[in-house]
Amino acid sequence: MNEQEHINYDRIAEAIEYIKINFKEQPNLDEIAEKVHLSPFHFQRLFSEWAGTTPKKFLQYISIEHAKKLLSDKQATLFDTAFETGLSGTGRLHDLFVNIEGMTPAEYKNGGKNLSVNYSFAESPFGNLIVASTPKGVCYMAFEDDEAEAVNNLTKKFPNATFQRKLDLIQQSALFIFQNDWSKLPQIKLHLKGTDFQVKVWETLLKIPMGQLSTYGNIAEKIGNPNASRAVGTALGSNPVAFLIPCHRVIQSSGNVGGYMWGETRKTAIIGWEGARTNSEI
């Protein structure tokens, strides 16, 4: 991101945080614009360019009441149907085109020895990203502004691997997901280091339709272990691939957004952004 894009994103994040805290009061455009020190006209234009919808609509997408409605009214049909068929019914969404391959026990145990890992940095609507890949697929993606810290976190995941700063086709395919036009979206392959339980949870997350939400308890039921809500939460917290594995679509059963490795405000932003785009396709 250039400096102006950083400023714009920071303003949007501040507005989202304000909306999230004050949604019960349903703040109007003037109130939100004043909070981020912009005129209502300028704020509405900036917000709509970023989110693809108006601040008023976005407020709806991220309100707790709307989250509860998604969980109670829609999930019973859309989520279950999508889980069984792999289809969301709202267009060619990326969930259908993400496949996970777990690393072998040897790769898991030896910290990536003999693995060659390419990595690069990219921009997204939600901040800067580091994305890394092996010859088999994307192995890591995280929101991170500090490049040195990002590389340090990556190397901790695979302490014995060989690293090269290089953008490859595997990474490019994954980054296409942030574009508005998904008609040419290629299949995305992930090569992940995780326990059998973690990989099973991550695979289940891929079947939550874009624009919909699930709960920790529901995911536990889907993997056949209804008492494992806490373990599911731990697996989500170990998700090595931001956004592509949509742990942001899992919220608390109360409707509260809940925690997120890359920040609750960012999670709220992603939920609203996806809701806006899904709504525009229906």
Give percent of the chain above pLDDT 90.
34
In contact, 32 and 26? CB cutoff 8 Å: no
Q: What integer pLDDT is reported at residue 75 of this predicted model?
A: 46
Give one word for 235, left, alpha or beta, with left for phi > 0 and alpha for psi -120 to 50.
alpha
Q: Cα(135)–Cα(101) distance, rounded to whole angstroms?
A: 12
Q: 178-205 in b/e burial notation, b at 16+ Cβ within 10 A?
A: eeeebeebeebbbbbbbeeebbbbbbbb
* DSSP type of residue 168: -
Q: What integer pLDDT is reported at residue 77 of this predicted model?
A: 45
Q: Cα(7)–Cα(23) distance, rounded to whole angstroms?
A: 24
In contact, 34 and 152? CB cutoff 8 Å: no
Return the top range by mean pLDDT from 24-33, 97-106, 107-116, 117-126: 117-126
* Domains of the chain, start order: 3-62 (1.10.10.60), 74-258 (1.10.10.10)
Of 106, 122, 117, whose CA–CA distance to 155 is shortest? 117
- Please tell me whether residue 129 adopts helix, strand or coil conformation: strand
Return the top range by mean pLDDT from 24-38, 73-87, 219-233: 219-233
Q: Which backbone phi and psi does 84 adopt, to 5 degrees? A: -80, -35
First to last CA, the chain: 31
Average pLDDT, the chain: 81
Report which secondary-structure segment, H or E, holds 98.
strand 98-102
Of 256, 234, 258, 260, whose CA–CA distance to 246 is shortest? 260
> For 129-142, how does the pLDDT look when each residue is reduced to its tens digit (9 = 90+)?
999 999 999 999 99
Of 274, 197, 183, 275, whose CA–CA distance to 233 is shortest? 197
DSSP readout, 218-254?
HHHHHTT-TT-HHHHHHHHHT-SBTTTS-GGGEE-TT
Residue 281, pLDDT > 70, answer no
Minimum mean pLDDT range among 66-70, 83-87, 235-239, 242-246 = 83-87
C-alpha to C-alpha distances, 83 to 2, 68, 77, nearest whole angstrom: 39, 20, 10
Return the top range by mean pLDDT from 27-41, 99-113, 140-154, 187-201: 140-154
> For 238-250, how does the pLDDT look when each residue is reduced to its tens digit (9 = 90+)?
999 999 999 999 9
Q: Cα(21)–Cα(6) distance, rounded to whole angstroms?
A: 22
Q: What integer pLDDT is reported at residue 34 of this predicted model?
A: 92
Asked if 247 is an active-site residue, the reply is yes
Residues 155-175 have a mean pLDDT of 92
Q: What integer pLDDT is reported at residue 92 of this predicted model?
A: 39
Query: Which member of 247, 250, 270, 276 is catalytic?
Result: 247
Q: Which amino acid is at 34?
A: E
> For 39-52, how does the pLDDT look when each residue is reduced to its tens digit (9 = 90+)?
999 999 988 888 77
* DSSP type of residue 21: H
Q: Cα(46)–Cα(44) distance, rounded to whole angstroms?
A: 6
Q: What integer pLDDT is reported at residue 211 of this predicted model?
A: 79
Q: Dig out the tokens for 63 from the structure.
A: 């309100």
Residue 108, pLDDT > 80, answer no
